[in-house]
Amino acid sequence: MANFPLINMENLNGAEREVTMEKIKDACENWGFFELVNHGIPIELLDKVEKMTKDHYKKCMEQRFKEMVAAKALEGVKAEVTDMDWESTFFLRHLPASNVFDVPDLENEYRELMKDFAGKLEKLAEELLDLLCENLGLEKGYLKKAFYGSKGPNFGTKVSNYPPCPKPDLIKGLRAHTDAGGIILLFQDDKVSGLQLLKDGEWVDVPPMRHSIVINLGDQIEVITNGKYKSVLHRVIAQTDGTRMSIASFYNPGNDAVIYPAPTLLEKEPSAKEQSYPKFVFDDYMKLYAGLKFQAKEPRFEAMKAVEANVSLGPVATA
């Protein structure tokens, strides 16, 4: 199998721009994932984020996780556990309004650091969306605009640790899913692996690499590109030794953004018109996703299509 796509963003500024854009295009069409190096986020900042995230886990989260494991007697499970994940997480929201200063138990220096990190990731996400536009033949800014709604995008960070797990075959670090939103930027542990994506029916490891940022595409990009780019199933296998840190930032449409296949992409491929993806308000999709995250995405798209059909019927006469 071809190697996991690695993109050196520095090459976008020189003679290798065209080859690099082609690599990004291939990754979007065939992997749904790629790994970035020389992405412009300073490595000192990444090192600090990693250290403070790991310190926070030790200080405030580890004990709580152990107590949860003991309370649910998870150490000794004998059959596959399908309704929970072996992870310890908390969530930070950045856009449309930050809650970084309201989340309990964080040191102020860590709050400031994560705010700085999020600002840089937001810029990187928007830069990447424009690279996707360029490859798709969409005008610059199309995807950013499509995500904007009336209040701008939703942008948030899920901070996770996957502690050592005695039964990784019976309980997943994170069960297989596709991401609901737009574009996801992941800063993952440089030593403890575990993230896998499904490619051609096989689970493929996303290799840990110091100071890289892993990118993957969510369901909304699949809808807007009418399936040209796909959101890909991925999961985390907890390891029997070593705690895996992962910091996943989700650049998603605003709640009231209306999502639908880009008309210029439909025109380019007339045959795609019939199997066109649905048009919906992003928040309606998220309400559906909340209960169906760990199921296949196709029924979610079908459900949104059914809603769209009902809405376009207009008012129903009752008398």
Instruction: Using CB under 5 A, list all residues that contact Fe ion.
Output: 179
Q: Give the other-Cβ count within 10 Å of 234's Cβ.
A: 23
Comparison of 236 and 262: residue with beta carbon closer to ligand AKG: 236
Q: Indicate the DSSP class of residue 262.
A: -
Q: In angstroms, rounded to a whole number, what is the distance separating the alpha carbons of residues 157 and 90?
A: 8
Residue from 169, 164, 141, 161 nearest 77 by CA: 169
**Residue closer to Fe ion (CB basis): 56 or 234:** 234
Quick note: the x/- pattern for ligand AKG over 87-126, rule CB under 6 A, is: ----------------------------------------
Our finding on whether 171 is near ligand AKG (CB under 6 A) is no
For the CB of residue 69, give the shortest distance to ligand AKG in the complex, in Å.
Answer: 18
> 288 touches which of ligand AKG, Fe ion, none (CB within 5 to 8 A by kind)?
none
Site string for ligand AKG, 186-205 (x = CB under 6 A): x-x------x----------
How far apart are CB 188 and Fe ion at their closest, in Å? 11
Nearer CB in complex with ligand AKG: 57/142? 57
Q: Where are the alpha helices (DSSP H) in 225-312?
A: 263-268, 282-292, 298-312
Task: Report the partner that residue 293 touches, choosing among ligand AKG, Fe ion, none (CB closer than 5 to 8 A by kind).
Answer: none
Which residues ranging from 231 to 250 are in contact with ligand AKG (CB under 6 A)? Answer: 234, 236, 246, 248
> Residue 219, Cα to own-chain centre: how many angstroms?
9
Residue number closest to ligand AKG, CB atom: 246
* 272 sits in which H/E element: none
The answer to whether 86 and 173 are in contact (CB under 8 A) is yes
Cα gap 72→76, rounded to integer Å: 10
Q: Nearest distance from residue 297's CB to ligand AKG, in Å? A: 13
Residues in the chain: 319
DSSP per residue over 63-83, as a string? HHHHHHHHHTTGGG--S---S
CB of 144 to ligand AKG, least distance (A): 22
